Amino acid sequence: MNNSSASFHLPLFTIRPDKVGAPSPCVLGLWLILILISALAPSRGLANPPVLVAGDGTYLGVVSANEYDPESTSNPFGLYGSAFSATSINNPYSLYGSEYSADSANNPYVVSDPLEK
């Protein structure tokens, strides 16, 4: 049995020990197409994050993990993410962050939660 004729099959191409060299043009074309599709496809990071609105209609920022977004509830220095802002769900003393307020996202007994739009 000739050991050099052994081949290993991978999903997009075949590696043969006796044929070492550049991949076929077909494989390069497939990789180029995949790269172009991934570059041109819309990114989930560019989509608008959900907006948080209190039961009384007050805008409470966007639900996002981006701590640099000025409207994000995760921005510790922003109007909607600060622990000291009156419109922040992260302020335990605000109308929208207190565990006792009827309009709070942190009250486990609240009747109407803030809405994501």
pLDDT tens digit sequence for 70-102: 999 999 999 999 999 999 999 999 998 888 888
| Residue 55 pLDDT | 80
pLDDT at 8 exceeding the cut of 50: no
* Burial annotation 51-72 (CB, 10 A radius, 16+ → b, else e): ebebeeeeebbbbbeeeebebb
Give 116 or 34, the one with higher predicted confidence: 34
pLDDT tens digit sequence for 33-65: 666 666 665 555 557 888 888 888 889 999 888
> 13: exposed, middle or buried (C-beta count within 10 Å: 0-12, 13-18, 19+)?
middle
The Cα 15–Cα 36 span in angstroms is 25
Domain residue extents for the chain: 8-41, 48-117
Task: Give this prediction's pTM.
Answer: 0.56
Give 116 or 88, the one with higher predicted confidence: 88
54 near 96, Cβ under 8 Å? yes
**And the tokens for 11?**
């999903």
H or E segment to which residue 9 belongs: strand 8-9
| Residue 37 pLDDT | 66
